[in-house]
Amino acid sequence: MMDLRCKMLDDIRAIEFMAVELNLFLDINPHDHRALNEYNDYTRQLHELKYQFEQQFGPLTNFGYSYSLHHWRWIDRPWPWESC
Amino acid making up residue 75: I
DSSP assignment, residue 69?
S
DSSP assignment, residue 49?
H
Distance CA 55, CA 24 (A): 30
For residue 60, the model assigns a pLDDT of 84
pLDDT by residue (tens digit) across 55-67?
888 888 766 666 6
1, pLDDT greater than 80:
no
**36-46 mean pLDDT:** 96
19, pLDDT greater than 90:
yes
| Prediction pTM value | 0.76
8 A C-beta contact, residue 11 and residue 57:
no
Q: Show Cβ contacts of residue 43 under 8 Å, excluding neighbours closer than 6 positions.
A: 19
Q: Provide Rg for the chain, Cα atoms.
A: 15
